[in-house]
């Protein structure tokens, strides 16, 4: 199968492209700049926010995958949820329909829902609504926190631990996460193309380990061969005053939106395993492979 992918050069995209290539698929990747050639991969220079830059490139493809997404806005650089979630999705859907392609896969996010409070989840839900209204053979995947060798979140926490054995915790730290390995997410995308029963369905993807935030910090330290860090607790009331002021600085590690999502938790029931037929990787074992414990 020939598959057109946007977002295929990012962290998750790298895992998805490798999985699809291993299954014999031919890929067309939408890229800003061409990189060294890879067998089985055609690179299409374009911009997902500019439909005219890539629309004609979908001809001859049998499926489309949209992996484009951001976790944090940088409006001064044009990086916003409106552009990279809604506009990008609208353009991908328009190009898919113009090419006469029926199969369409969209990466969303766990926690996306109509009554979401974070702008991130609100924009993801609006993008999902565009997909559901497009009259295509669509599948939506909502991963929880995704981890892997090139992830942002786990590696950021590990980087902090390398500098000092102190990890500040906002609030009580009991809010839970259920991370899933990028390889498992990639496998679900590939299997969705093979399983007709995934058409018209939305799947929440999460790992097998449900950890509180403080347990997550301890697990990262253990994977690095370090003792559990000191975890001073920062009052939520204080953080809710500080973060809105500081979040405009790109180097500040968290935004109000991200704090809201953290406190809401990031867990699911794991029902996706019944459809896709495999168990997710163990979190502690998975991070040990690249954190060097």
At 125-140, the pLDDT tens digits run: 999 999 999 999 999 9
pLDDT band for 27, please (50, 70, 90 cuts): very high
Q: What is the average pLDDT across 80-87?
A: 98
The per-residue pLDDT for 293 is 55
Q: What is the average pLDDT across 29-55?
A: 96
Class of domain 2-147+180-207+269-278: alpha beta
DSSP 172-206: TS--EE--EEHHHHHHHHHHHHH-GGGTTEEEEE-
Q: Is the pLDDT confidence value at 78 over 70?
A: yes
Residue matched to tokens 């093979």:
194
Nearest residue to 73 via CA among 84, 65, 62: 84
Nearest residue to 54 via CA among 102, 7, 18: 7
Query: What tokens appear for 139 in the block?
Result: 């599948």
Output the CA angle 287-292-293, nearest 5 degrees: 85
Provide the Cα torsion 40, 46, 47, 52; round to 10°. -120
Helices (H), 119-271: 119-132, 153-163, 182-194, 213-223, 236-246, 256-264
The per-residue pLDDT for 72 is 93
- Distance (Å, rounded) from C-alpha 270 to C-alpha 139? 17
3-state secondary structure of 97: helix
The per-residue pLDDT for 252 is 86
Query: What tokens appear for 106 in the block?
Result: 């969209």
Q: Is the pLDDT confidence value at 214 over 60?
A: yes
Query: In this prediction, what percent of the chain has a pLDDT beyond 90?
Result: 95
Average pLDDT, the chain: 96
At 149-167, the pLDDT tens digits run: 999 999 999 999 999 999 9
The per-residue pLDDT for 67 is 98
At 234-290, the pLDDT tens digits run: 999 999 999 999 898 878 889 999 999 999 999 999 999 999 999 999 999 999 999
The per-residue pLDDT for 250 is 79
Radius of gyration of the chain measured on its C-alpha atoms: 19
């Amino acid at each position: 199968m020939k598959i057109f992918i946007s977002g295929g050069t990012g962290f998750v995209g790298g895992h998805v492209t490798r999985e699809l290539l291993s299954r014999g698929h031919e890929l067309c990747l939408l890229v800003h700049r061409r990189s060294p050639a890879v067998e089985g991969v055609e690179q299409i220079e374009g911009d997902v926010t500019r439909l005219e830059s890539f629309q004609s490139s979908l001809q001859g493809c049998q499926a489309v995958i949209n992996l484009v997404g951001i976790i944090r806005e940088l409006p001064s650089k044009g990086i916003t949820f409106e552009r990279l979630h809604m506009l990008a999705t609208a353009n991908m859907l328009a190009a898919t329909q113009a090419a006469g392609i029926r199969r369409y896969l969209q990466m969303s996010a766990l926690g996306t829902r109509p009554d979401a409070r974070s702008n991130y989840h609100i924009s993801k839900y609006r993008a999902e609504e565009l997909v559901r209204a497009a009259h295509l053979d669509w599948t939506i995947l909502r991963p929880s926190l995704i981890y892997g060798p090139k992830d942002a979140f786990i590696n950021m926490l590990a980087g902090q631990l390398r500098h000092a054995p102190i990890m500040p915790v906002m609030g009580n730290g009991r809010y839970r996460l259920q991370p899933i390995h990028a390889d498992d997410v990639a496998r679900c995308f590939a299997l969705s193309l093979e399983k007709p029963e995934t058409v018209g369905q939305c799947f929440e993807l999460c790992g097998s380990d449900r950890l509180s935030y403080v347990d997550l910090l301890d697990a990262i330290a253990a994977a690095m061969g370090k003792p559990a860090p000191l975890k001073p607790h920062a009052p939520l009331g204080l953080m809710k005053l500080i973060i809105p002021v500081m979040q405009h600085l790109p180097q500040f590690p968290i935004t109000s939106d991200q704090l809201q999502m953290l406190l809401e938790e990031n867990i699911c029931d794991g029902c996706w395993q019944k459809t896709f037929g495999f168990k997710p990787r163990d979190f502690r074992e998975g991070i040990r492979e690249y954190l060097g414990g």
